Amino acid sequence: MHVTMVVGLFRPFGGGAERQAEALSVALQQRGIFVDVLTLCPRGAEIALPDDPVPVTRLRVPGFGRLKEISFAISVYPYLIKHKPDIVHIHQAEMLATGAVMAAKKLRIPSIVKCGNSGERFDLRITEQKYFCGSWLKSKIVYKTDCFIALNQSIQDDLLAEGIQPSKISCIPNGICISEPRTKAKRVQCRKSLSFPELRPVISTVGTLTPKKNHANLIRALSLIPAEQRPLLVIAGGGGLRNSLESLIQELDLSEDIRLLGQVSSEEVNQVLHASDLFILPSYVEGVSNALLEAMAIEIPAIVSDVPGNRAVIENDSQGYFCHPDNPVSISRAISDALQNPSEMTARARAGRLNIESRFDLDVVAKQYELLYGSLLNSTK
């Protein structure tokens, strides 16, 4: 079986969706499925990397911004003609998905579109709002896609609201490789490597610097904690809001309490998580956060916003902590409550890891996709 993954960015660029595309590609290849990746090549980047885990084609296309997205969408068709995959698997229902599903339909190749967000940030809703011909783009995705992947129930509800038949929707979460719980020695090693203080509590968050990730309210929440009790907040991720977040940090006099690491690699994310005492994800909307899964898998306690995507991971208070994303006081209180009760924090971290082991193991997720691919191929014969 040959599966072509179509994704806007790929390693070393992008965020959670792109990291998940990489992890899934490797897991599928280990199951005997040939996987190649078609993606954009950012300006100035290398077309090929020596350590790419699967064959990757990074296209240099003309234009900037949305024009570049259109150029990439058009380029999918000749790529599929040349490589003749059995399945086209598209990550996120945006502009590139339109070109990919139309090309796949014309070539009679089954297509899958994975949706990563729900609510106001629902993929199809964003596509409709973002582009001049957004309604047309959305309609092509809706009617020409053979199967949609919903990461959680909230995304499935949004897909159903668009009139998509239940038979065309599969609920498959993100998955991760389950590693051993974090050890004290590993924590010390990673703190030294990252130049984090040895004794001060460290809270980390991982995600692109965009409004939906709600970094501003997290920073405001940190300012509400008394200085002598305040942990170090580490924010890993790049994005367009960096300058405004830096201004907010200066305004609140938190320069000694917050580190903005910028864009980081998967290896660096792993180091940050191992160096942390607590992971926090105060987003306004989430699909299924890879960083959250990775933190919980190594037994790092987690605070998350009480939104559907996070509720799909942390099922109850015994597995983690919840806060209200609109309320810095709620976020601040959750941080303080966790850090002031280490034994409870440890218990929730252990329960969280067991939850991840049972529901989000990447091998299990890859097997679900393998069965779905087979079902789609059988239905088109």
Query: pLDDT tens-digit profile of 77-109?
Result: 999 999 999 999 999 878 788 889 999 999 999
Q: Where residue 61 falls among pLDDT bands split at 50, 70, 90?
A: confident
* 186 CB-contact burial (10 Å; exposed 0-12 / middle 13-18 / buried 19+): middle
338 in Cβ contact with 302 (< 8 Å): no
Domain containing 99 equals 2-175+361-379
Residues 6+ apart with CB under 8 A from 342: none
Residues 216 and 352 in one domain: yes
pLDDT digits (tens, 9 = 90+) for 237-288: 998 999 999 999 999 999 999 999 998 888 899 999 999 999 999 999 888 8
pLDDT digits (tens, 9 = 90+) for 189-234: 999 999 999 999 999 999 999 999 999 999 999 999 999 999 999 9
Residues 236 and 288 in one domain: yes
203 vs 275: CA distance, rounded Å: 9
Q: Which of 180, 224, 179, 222 is nearest to 201 (CA)?
A: 222
Averaged over 183-192, what is the pLDDT? 94
pLDDT digits (tens, 9 = 90+) for 330-379: 999 999 999 999 999 999 999 999 999 999 999 999 999 999 999 999 98
CA torsion sign for 367, 373, 377, 380 is: positive
Q: What are phi and psi of 14, to 5 degrees?
A: 95, -175
Residues 107 and 254 in one domain: no
72 in Cβ contact with 61 (< 8 Å): yes
Query: Which CATH number belongs to the domain containing residue 210 in this structure?
Result: 3.40.50.2000
pLDDT of residue 231: 97
Residues 351 and 368 in one domain: no
pLDDT of residue 42: 80
142 in Cβ contact with 164 (< 8 Å): yes
Residues 86 and 6 in one domain: yes
337 in Cβ contact with 348 (< 8 Å): no
Residues 200 and 338 in one domain: yes
273 in Cβ contact with 179 (< 8 Å): no
Q: Tell if the pTM clears 0.95, that is, is over it.
A: no
Residue found by looking up tokens 């229902």 in the block: 93
122 vs 92: CA distance, rounded Å: 10
339 vs 280: CA distance, rounded Å: 12
Judged by DSSP in three states, 116 sits in coil
Residue found by looking up tokens 């919980």 in the block: 296
Judged by DSSP in three states, 34 sits in strand
Average pLDDT over the chain, rounded to an integer: 92
> What CA–CA distances, in Å, run from 134 to 121, 138, 267?
14, 6, 37
Residues 70 and 159 in one domain: yes
Q: Which of 13, 24, 3 is nearest to 290 (CA)?
A: 24
Asked which of 52-61, 183-192, 294-303, 321-330 is least confident by mean pLDDT, the reply is: 52-61
Residues 126 and 200 in one domain: no
Number of residues in the chain: 381
9 has pLDDT over 90: no
Q: Is the peptide bond before 12 cis (omega within 30 degrees of 0)?
A: yes
Judged by DSSP in three states, 314 sits in coil
pLDDT of residue 69: 77
pLDDT of residue 85: 96
Residues 105 and 213 in one domain: no
pLDDT digits (tens, 9 = 90+) for 106-149: 999 999 999 988 888 899 998 899 888 889 999 999 999 999 99
Residues 280 and 205 in one domain: yes
166 in Cβ contact with 160 (< 8 Å): yes
The two tokens of residue 191 are 């703190």
Which uninterrupted H or E stretch holds 147?
strand 147-150
CA torsion sign for 39, 42, 43, 45 is: negative
pLDDT of residue 345: 96
Residues 119 and 206 in one domain: no
Residues 257 and 204 in one domain: yes
328 vs 335: CA distance, rounded Å: 11
Give how far the C-alpha of residue 214 lies from the chain's centroid of Cα atoms, to the nearest Å. 15
Which runs of E-coded beta strand occur in 184-298? 202-206, 232-236, 258-262, 278-281
Query: Would you tell me the crossing angle of helices 95-106 and 134-144 to the nearest 10 degrees?
Result: 40
**Structural domains in the chain (count):** 2
